[in-house]
Amino acid sequence: MRGRFITFEGIDGAGKSTHLDWFADALRARGATVLRTREPGGSPLAERLRALLLSEAMSITTEILLMFAARQDHLDTVVGPALARGDWVLCDRFTDSTFAYQGAGRGAGSEHIAMLERWVQAGLQPDRTYLFDLPPEEAARRRAGARAPDRFEQEDLDFFGRVRAGYALRVQQDPARFVTIDARQDIAAIRAVLQGSIDTLWA
Ligand code: TYD
């Protein structure tokens, strides 16, 4: 059976990393070979670009190009080979993040990002994307005190409101790919949703 490419998205503080760990274990329990990875990053070169992206001030165009440079290397050296082997690839963030954060949050718009998406992904799209949706105020409360914020996490509530709207637009454009999860629910309720949806991935 071929593997699947599954991505996890949401504004910072929505709790997706915790659920990703659980999801990877649930798939392994069913016999899948799982590769858990993340963006920006996921390969040695892309992790170096991640360190720059999360710490250095730069123009929005540079930021978008570095995101896609990291993505290209990650796809070439990690994601592509894993999918070719039939592994299941679980990726913490992917191109929906670029549309949401750079396109909507920073106001770059979607035209150039869509161009890079076509070029770099060459038709590859996630088989499924779990979007952990949370009001920005609640996400900010959860982030507070968790750890020192990176460059993106320092943005204000308006920014995260735009990011959330950017995600909603992506869902509208490709509803079949997304499962939107209300991240205000408790962990058990969210796991029940994920567990139910794992069965449909096996079809
Ligand atoms: P993430 O790994 O979720 O952060 P953390 O390690 O703190 O849980 O993502 C790092 C940041 O990168 C996050 O604030 C969102 C941002 N990001 C973008 O702005 N654009 C992108 O295309 C991607 C993949 C991430």
In this structure, what CATH number is given to the domain that contains residue 93? 3.40.50.300
| Residue among 97, 106, 134 to mutate when testing ligand 1 (max atoms within 8 A of CB) | 97
pLDDT of residue 163: 98
* Residue 152 and residue 12 in contact, taking contact as beta carbons nearer than 8 Å: yes
Domain assignment present for residue 192? The answer is yes
- For 24, residues 6+ apart whose C-beta sits below 8 A from its C-beta are 34, 36, 90
Contact 126, 7 (CB under 8 A): yes
Is the residue at 46 inside a domain? no
Q: What lines the ligand 1 site, CB under 6 Å?
A: 12, 17, 38-40, 67, 92-93, 97-98, 101-102, 150, 152-153
Residue 48 domain-assigned? no
| 13-37 per-position pLDDT tens digit | 898 999 999 999 999 999 999 999 9
Atom of ligand 1 nearest to the CA of 67: 22
**82 CA → ligand 1 middle, Å:** 22
Residue 70 lies in a domain: no
The pTM of this model reads 0.95
Backbone angles phi, psi at 130, to 5 degrees: -95, 120
Q: Is residue 40 assigned to a domain?
A: no
What domain count does the chain have?
1
**Angle subtended at Cα 201 by Cα 197 and Cα 202, rounded to the nearest 5 degrees:** 120
pLDDT at 118: 98
- Name the strands in the sheet holding 178-182, side by side, starting at the edge strand that comes first in the sequence: 34-38, 88-92, 5-10, 128-133, 178-182
Distance 54 CA to ligand 1 centre (A): 8
**Which two tokens mark 41?**
């990053």
Q: Within a domain: residue 65?
A: no
Ligand 1 center–CA 40 separation, angstroms: 7
State the residue range of the domain holding 186: 4-35+86-202
Is residue 125, in this structure, part of any structural domain at all? yes
How does pLDDT run across 31-84, given as a tens digit for each residue? Answer: 999 999 999 999 999 999 999 999 999 999 999 999 999 999 999 999 999 999
Q: Does 47 map to a domain?
A: no
